[in-house]
Amino acid sequence: MFRFSSLVIAVVAASLVILGASVAYRASAATAGQGSQSQLAVNIADDAFKPPSLVVQAGTRVTWTNADDDPHTVTTDKSLFDSRGLARGDSFSYVFRKPGTYAYYCKVHPFMKGVVIVKGAHS
């Protein structure tokens, strides 16, 4: 009887280890799939976009955060996006889905310019 219950305990323990590994693998695979959309940050400080240019993969989310006392915008010429006025501490995000070159500027301070260059997802 002792051998049978030891065998049952060993089989149950092995099953739990295998089940746990399977769940961990699925969670890891799901996280890896979500990782295809990365995130980058642009700081708005000293009346400038920092960094002023980014090269990203399609699907990347870029977030601009205003660290200046003055209000700023993040605006494209082609009306793709416009953050409206960002006060100090405010943020604006945009996901770049298509390859291309996206120039942007601040409507309040038109000398402030930046660019995001988007490469294909497998470039």
pLDDT at site 123: 53
Strand 100-105, strand 75-76: pairing: antiparallel
If we measure between CA atoms, which residue out of 63, 40, 60, 43 comes closest to residue 51? 43
User: For the segment 63-94, what is each residue's pLDDT rounded down to a tens digit?
Assistant: 999 999 999 999 998 889 999 999 999 999 99
Specify whether the CB–CB gap between 65 and 44 falls below 8 A. yes
pTM of the model: 0.69
Classify each residue of 19-48 as buried b or exposed e, where b means 16 or more C-beta atoms within 10 Å of its C-beta: eeeeeeeeeeeeeeeeeeeeeeebebeeeb
**pLDDT tens figures, 95-105:** 999 999 999 99
Average pLDDT over residues 14-34: 35
**Domain 39-119 maps to which CATH number in 2.40.30.10, 2.30.40.10, 2.60.40.420, 2.60.40.1930?**
2.60.40.420
Secondary structure (3-state) at 60: strand
**Domain map of the chain by residue range?**
1-35, 39-119
Instruction: Give the residues across from 64 on adjacent strands.
Output: 42, 92
Q: Are 49 and 105 in contact (CB under 8 A)?
A: no
Compute how many other C-beta atoms are within 10 angstroms of the C-beta atom of residue 79. Answer: 7
Question: Please, are residues 95 and 61 in contact by the beta-carbon 8 Å criterion?
Answer: yes
